[in-house]
Structure 1
């Protein structure tokens, strides 16, 4: 190694440091404009880095609140739903009086609403009611807070529509479990799930089948009065129900007979 190499390297490093030191730092407004331009260009990951740096440099600056809203949006558009929820929670905690709080709640709800969507949800139609619905329940609570606090918000109509969809999904999940129990001979558990639908998810399509399950369940347990009461409510509420035959008696095509129920229970539904 030549003797002049190390002194030369030192001079180059000093020159680089001096150059970086002399470079002026961006003002808050300029840095925010850069982040906003990145969002406009759909460079959301770059925008996220820029907004986070802006937050560190100017935590109480003039653009702090707007940057928080933009960060929520950038995370959502980059399909990072958990980070979207966290950013919305932080915004709500840090700026509770912000006039655009309805937007933060709405985006938080949207992120939770889409949290459980996977690759195949975008390719084929799937029944999500058979899966865990915790994120959907969180989304329902977010939308509910939005419509209660800001009933006239521009986001309220869509939030209400999504709440109806979520309630229908949650009711269908209860029906899925009720069918599961019935097929395995756990009739009491099946009736309890169906009752829960009738009580807590009124005005959802699932109520119709829930009443049919209750009727068949009480018949299996030999409670004729309760069975007739459930059948009568079904006939009155849904006179054209697909679960009623010509004599207005309940007919569930999937309902197992007693022998099949025991066999299913013993074989774990393999036969």
Structure 2
């Protein structure tokens, strides 16, 4: 019996130790663990710990800081949708917090990066040809940041990114204008070009937009409107590559009338 009893007793003691639950951490200890995970760049672990902290202590002493850290950890984990959600929740819960500008900036930054493709960090890609909804959201976030917090430390970078986004949005309009022109939809192409001139002034896209308007009006046989657009182009871009020495507009991609019809009938395959 002693030979059987003592091994069984040892097994029971070991089983008891194995099933012993970890004591619950205090709010301060749990926040310290989450902060240490961030410091060691274990962002996924930090996210889980911060969410647990928020669930256990929704009105605790570390709730506000945990919300800010969750925004940061989500962004560093390249989870941009989660970053947007965390930033929105923080601004909703603490609208008068001193770091609302940070939350707004990070939401804009997450939206700014939302549309990046898998290979964007490896090759240069023109995002203006793709859907720009996330970029528009980012622009609104940065615009709101600059308007509400003009002296924020994040305002200069927000303004710089707004310029970049406007350039991209203007280039997207040019993509559509070219698409319509190649398919013979000249009126639609002119409308897109006019939109660029009206809404995206001081962007590089305005130069080509004016050239498209000249070519479009010439195609539609509106010489006065074509000349007016040509004068605006020459006045604002006297060294434009789209103007030859005789002030004739040259667009390399602009389709001939027959080619435009062929492109329309063949879905741009020929």
Using structure 1 for the length normalisation, give the TM-score.
0.93
1:253 shift after superposition: 1.3
Residue of structure 2 in register with 1:258 after alignment: 257
Residue of structure 2 in register with 1:15 after alignment: 16
Provide, for residues 61-104 of structure 1, a one-character-per-residue CA deviation record: whole Å limited to 9, x for no partner.
Answer: 01101000000000000000000000001001111011000100
Q: Secondary structure at the match of 2:260?
A: helix
Residue of structure 2 in register with 1:61 after alignment: 60
Residue of structure 2 in register with 1:87 after alignment: 86
1:111 shift after superposition: 0.5
1:236 shift after superposition: 0.4
**1:19 & 1:37 partners in 2: Cα distance?**
25
Residue of structure 2 in register with 1:221 after alignment: 220
1:115 shift after superposition: 0.5
Residue of structure 2 in register with 1:148 after alignment: 147
Residue of structure 2 in register with 1:117 after alignment: 116
**1:173 & 1:143 partners in 2: Cα distance?**
20
Long gaps (5+) in structure 2 = none
Residue of structure 2 in register with 1:235 after alignment: 234
1:27 shift after superposition: 1.1
Question: Runs of 4 or more off by more than 2 Å in structure 1?
Answer: 10-20
Q: Secondary structure at the match of 2:38?
A: helix
Provide, for residues 140-187 of structure 1, a one-character-per-residue CA deviation record: whole Å limited to 9, x for no partner.
Answer: 001111111100000000000000000000000000000010011000
**1:249 & 1:85 partners in 2: Cα distance?**
49
Residue of structure 1 in register with 2:266 after alignment: 267
Residue of structure 1 in register with 2:97 after alignment: 98
Provide, for residues 111-134 of structure 1, a one-character-per-residue CA deviation record: whole Å limited to 9, x for no partner.
Answer: 010111122111111111110000
**1:24 & 1:204 partners in 2: Cα distance?**
60
Q: Secondary structure at the match of 2:208?
A: helix
- The total of aligned residue pairs comes to 264
1:19 shift after superposition: 3.2
CA RMSD, Structure 1 to Structure 2 (Å): 1.8
**2:86 & 2:165 partners in 1: Cα distance?**
23
Structural mapping, 1:133-172, within 5 Å: 133-172=132-171
Long gaps (5+) in structure 1 = none
Matched, 1:177 2:176: yes
**1:66 & 1:159 partners in 2: Cα distance?**
23
Residue of structure 2 in register with 1:212 after alignment: 211
